Amino acid sequence: MSAEEAPIDFDPSYVAGLFDTVGRVRFDISETPQDGYTVRPMLRLSPHQTQLRAAVIGEFLEERGYRYDFIEREYGDEFFRLQRRTDLEDLQSFLDGRSAHLIRELAFVDGVFADQFDFDILDPVDVYRFTVARDELRHGWRPKGRYHVSPDDISDRHDVETDDVETPALPHTELRTGYTVEWIAGVYDGVCRYRASIAEASDYEIGYAMYPIARLHRSGVCPTFVNAFRQFCEDYDLTYGDSSGKNDLQITFTGASNVRRILDVLYPRLLVLAEASEGLVEGILPAFDENVHRDKRGFYDLLREFDRVAELSGGPFRHREYDPEYFADLWRDELDLVDRGTVPSHSGTRPEDELDQFDEVTVPPGAFGTTPRRFRTLVDRVERDPDRVARLKSLYDDRCQLCGTRLASSDGTGYSEVHHLRPLEAPHGGSDVTENMLVLCPNHHVDFDNGVVRVHVDDLSVDHPYDSAVDGDELFVTAEHEPAESALRYHNRTICRLR
Ligand SMILES: [Zn+2]
What digits encode the pLDDT tens for the residues 235-244? 999 999 999 9
Write down the CATH number for the domain with range 181-376: 3.10.28.10
Distance 156 CA to ligand 1 centre (A): 80
Return the HEC string of 263-296. HHHHHHHCCCCHHHHHHHHHHHHHHHHCCHHHCH
In this prediction, residue 384 carries a pLDDT of: 37
Hey, where are the domains in the chain? 2-164, 181-376, 388-495
Single-letter amino acid, residue 466: Y
* 400 Cα to the center of ligand 1, angstroms: 5
pLDDT above 50 for 311: yes
Is the separation of the CB atoms in 197 and 137 below 8 Å?
no
Expressed in angstroms and rounded, the spacing between residue 410 Cα and the centre of ligand 1 is 20
Give residue 426's identity as a one-letter amino acid code.
A
User: At a CB cut-off of 8 Å and minimum separation 6, what does 39 contact?
Assistant: 27, 28, 29, 30, 113, 116, 117, 118, 122, 127, 130
Compute, in angstroms, the gap from residue 116 CA to the centroid of ligand 1. Answer: 75
69-71 and 37-45 as β-strands: parallel, antiparallel, unpaired?
A: unpaired
Whether the bond into 483 is cis, omega within 30 of 0? no
367 has pLDDT over 50: no
For the four alpha carbons of 46, 48, 49 and 52, in that order, the dihedral sign comes to negative
Maximal C-alpha separation, the chain: 101
For residue 440, report the distance from its CA to the centre of ligand 1, in Å.
Answer: 5
DSSP code at position 494 = I
**Which carries the bigger pLDDT value, residue 32 or residue 197?**
197
On the CB side of 195, CA atoms within 13 Å amount to 18
399 touches 437 (CB < 8 A): no
Q: For 365-404, where are the E strands, in sequence order?
A: none
| CA 469 / ligand 1 centre spacing (Å) | 10
Coil, helix or strand for 55? helix
- Output phi, psi for 83, to 5 deg: -125, -20
Burial category of 125 from C-beta neighbours within 10 Å (exposed 0-12, middle 13-18, buried 19 and up):
middle
CA of 339 to the centre of ligand 1 (A): 26
Ligand 1 centroid distance, CA of 356 (Å): 28
pLDDT recorded at residue 361: 31
Residue 427 Cα to ligand 1 midpoint, Å, equals 27
For residue 470, report the distance from its CA to the centre of ligand 1, in Å.
Answer: 8
Cα dihedral 417→420→421→423 (10° resolution): -140
CA distance to 123, 153, 295, per residue, from 134 (Å): 16, 14, 54
pLDDT of residue 413: 82
Summarize pLDDT for 450-486 with one digit per residue, the tens.
788 999 998 999 998 777 788 888 999 998 898 999 9
pTM: 0.66
Using only the alpha carbons of the chain, give its radius of gyration: 27
Give dist(CA 256, CA 280) in Å, integer: 9
Domain 2-164 and domain 181-376, same fold? Reply is yes
Statement: residue 370 has pLDDT above 60: no
Is pLDDT of 6 > 70? Answer: no
User: Do 29 and 39 meet the contact criterion of CB atoms below 8 Å apart?
Assistant: yes
Q: What is the mean pLDDT of the chain?
A: 81
168: pLDDT strictly greater than 90: no
CB 427 within 8 A of CB 359: no
* pLDDT score, position 337: 62
218, containing H or E segment? strand 208-219
Cα 417 to middle of ligand 1, angstroms: 10
The mean-pLDDT minimum among 244-253, 301-310, 311-320, 424-433 falls in 311-320
- CA-based nearest residue to 95, from 5, 6, 22: 22
Q: Are 284 and 312 in contact (CB under 8 A)?
A: no
How far is Cα 7 from Cα 368, in angstroms, rounded to an integer? 16
**Fold classified for 2-164:** Endonuclease I-creI (3.10.28)
What's the pLDDT band for 75 if we cut at 50, 70, 90? low
- Rounded to whole angstroms, the Cα distance separating 407 from 400 reads 9
Q: 5, exposed or middle or buried, with CB in 10 Å at 0-12, 13-18, 19+?
A: exposed
> What angle, rounded to 10 degrees, do the helices at 12-22 and 51-64 form?
120
Asked if 311 and 346 count as a contact pair (C-beta separation under 8 A), the reply is yes
pLDDT tops 90 at residue 194? yes
What is the CA(443)–ligand 1 centre distance, in A? 6
Closest CA to 49 of 267, 359, 355, 306: 355
Kindly indicate the confidence band of residue 146, based on its pLDDT and cuts at 50, 70 and 90: low
Strand partners, 462: 455
Q: How far is CA 4 from the centre of its chain?
A: 19
